[in-house]
Structure 1
């Protein structure tokens, strides 16, 4: 496979989105590091991503979207409850990741051994634009082999994965830090952690 190095422009973004829709794995800048992404409905793509990262499939992946509507098919809103759903929606777009009950339509290969699914509506303009261009939520994970530091530059992404990726944004650095918050599942004792 050849990794297309695409400029961080509208045509480059459009081509990355096409690669995602065709089952490709792409690298793109996120809030703090480069991310790897693919179509969450493509089992083959998700399995390639697990293999590429040497990530245990029991861990599952995060889904990001540009709008709540891109994530709703993956969320069991009845089990989540109206109050938590409203709280979650009010926190987005932003850096908060919620672990919520997954819908029956959520593929098992996305969540590993978990009953929930991690979701976030990103406020990061390039990542949101990629979701919009692809027309779907994206599997999103840091660009690094399991256990190694996440890539913050295109050069690091290519050093880790070389030609194993289908496409890569040529933006040189990810732009800022992010702190994700994992909330306890409804009905579970516990407190917010950061």
Structure 2
């Protein structure tokens, strides 16, 4: 299945229903296509991890249109800390923040208490989260050990009809987003 990245009308309803049934999507992100699903739906997370052939102990990144979409997954932060975090975004900068206890281990990574979150620099990715009405998982669109897909054609070659492709151009970044541990300020990637 293939659709343009800025869908409207009936497609928005279809997208939301598709995600709520555990569907996986491929969409343009800052540097490559991203693979996504709902961050709180374990069957979809398991399918995504299996599709990528990714180690299950690794965590996944979650993106949102704004901080309000990410808050349900994160431990509460003070108003001052929230302002400081918001000064970092939108940007190709992923922050590790303390997750709520109920966040699935598949999402944050086994034995980890933080969750990797970002408000993307790319308008299309933020629009997608807004259209979906929720934050979304955002991991590079590739099988483990392969190059990340930069075009719709590459997505189709690697994944065929296993994902719903939302077409469009990536942001053209050559490097993946930075990952920074918010508590320590340490850059991890």
Which TM-score applies when normalising by structure 2? 0.88
Counterpart Cα distance in 2 of 1:66 and 1:150 = 23
Structure 1: which 5+ runs fail to align?
Answer: none
Task: Give yes or no for contact 2:122–2:171 (8 Å, CA) kept in 1.
Answer: no
The CA deviation string for residues 106-144 of structure 1, in whole angstroms up to 9 with x for no partner, is 122211222210000123111111101111100111100
- Which residue of 93, 99, 104 maps to 1:102? 99
Aligned CA distance change for structure 1 residues 45 and 134 (closer, same or farther; 3 Å): same
Which TM-score applies when normalising by structure 1? 0.86
* Corresponding residue of 2:170: 174
Matches within 5 A, 1:35-54: 35-54=34-53
Task: Give yes or no for contact 1:73–1:105 (8 Å, CA) kept in 2.
Answer: no
Counterpart Cα distance in 1 of 2:176 and 2:142 = 18
The CA deviation string for residues 155-183 of structure 1, in whole angstroms up to 9 with x for no partner, is 10111111211x10232x42321552322
* Corresponding residue of 1:33: 32
- Runs (4+) of structure 1 moved beyond 4 Å? 81-84
* Corresponding residue of 1:66: 65
1:13 Cα deviation (Å)?
5.9
- Structure 1 window deviating more from structure 2 (44-53 vs 11-20): it is 11-20
- Structure 1 window deviating more from structure 2 (54-63 vs 20-29): it is 20-29
Task: Give yes or no for contact 1:18–1:134 (8 Å, CA) kept in 2.
Answer: no
Counterpart Cα distance in 1 of 2:79 and 2:126 = 25
Structure 2: which 5+ runs fail to align?
Answer: none
Cα RMSD over matched residues? 2.1
Counterpart Cα distance in 1 of 2:128 and 2:7 = 10
